Chains A and B, each alone.
Chain A
Amino acid sequence: MRLSDLKPGEEAIISGFTDELKYLQLMEMGCIPGERVRLLSRAPFGDPISIQISSYKLSIRKSEAHNILVEMHSEDTRSLRQA
């Protein structure tokens, strides 16, 4: 599933990207495969969405969040060091 499919409050683990052009930039901003991500809220007009990654918040347009693949397994216990 994709990051844009999450509902507010839901958490998932980033598993990959579909956009070859933008994935480097997303990773540089902290959206790394294996990282836990939480959808915090949608903006008042429905888009963009705000997400929590590691210890910070990002605002990301839905069309861009659509390029981020996520998995909702909770078994993935990879420790997420947050600093």
Chain B
Amino acid sequence: MSEIIDTDIAIIGGGPAGLAAALNASKRGARVAIIERDFELGGILQQCIHNGFGLTYFKEELTGPEYAQRFMDLLKETNVQIFLDSMVIDLSADKIITAMNPERGILKIHAKAVILAMGCRERTRGAINVPGMRPAGIYTAGTAQRLINMEGYMPGKRVVILGSGDIGLIMARRLVLEGAKVLVVAEVLPYCSGLVRNFVQCLQDYDIPLYLSHTITDIKGKERVKSVIISKVDENWMPIKGTEKVYECDTVLFSVGLIPENEISLKAGIKLDITNGPTVNEYLETTVPGIFACGNVLQVHDLVDWVTLEAERAGENAYAYSTNTSRGGKLLEPILTVPGENVGYIVPQRIDYLQDSKIVQFSFRPKSPDKNCIIEFVSNEKVFDKRKAKHIIPSEMLIYKIKLNPEEIGEKITINIKKNLKKSKEEA
């Protein structure tokens, strides 16, 4: 009863990652299919109507829809097959995708290689266990963004925002521009977790207070939110008694992080990392051969430009896989990358091929902010490469291309972010 579709490369998700991967693979001559659950391509970019996109990739400042449109226009010139309004309900390790859509029913897409580009979802109030009542008026920041920018509805009039992630900051400004009152943004961390430019342009410019080391400790209201209580927290994020402040409001937005959305990946038996994304090798290939991952489904990025660049690599690698291009001899045991001092995670999680010297791109995030740092790449207890970083902050991903020489590399590669003591002393 199902329709069978044969393709070289099937891409799950038509957001920025899926678009860039599709274009790159198609350019090389692959037959490509994109499966997108929404009614249009572009993903979350379509609801990001603010500017600030494309500074790295296009060297100009675009809005989200403009950024997406550039790729969608290029896609029109290709013969990439696009399935809109189509939900992937299964993915098997032998790279058969089961999807459904209203027009064509059930589709079985047989691919030589698959690229996961499903993006992420927002962490919710439930996931961080904020207590209180459960009335109407509690939204994640991205849902509020969709309601306002895509649907044209206001989630509320007096708003408190928990979390200083970028979407929360952007939404604070957006709500003000639409006539709502944003009372406060509370952040449990002792520093702003969004980009500095967003803090300046979205909060400071609109006189919206940011309370660091604060969290919501109660939400009141039976039918609709009536008020929230915000408390200061200690270094273990535990609320400090006596610091409670009451804010009368009708809406609470949560902007408390993003989680790569890998339920489909799990169906294919793909292993996930602490990133909540698949563990991948230097080709962005998951633990299932021929299934690749890129964009926010792999690791949450702060700039879409990095998503595009990562997705282009995935498109290229998937194309090479689909044409049986040799990568050289595979290592008997992979070289594992290990997050060391002040490193939260590393992508890739393993190196599978290292016959000759080669350049590998590492992306990772610091656990806490610091300045005047040295980033060490260590193997066999020796620092084989190091880089300087003036300012590091968890909200900004670090990306380095590092040359790996098989003679220097042992079973593991550890990355440490260390204080540059000499430099700090000089400054002091």
A, B from the same assembly: no
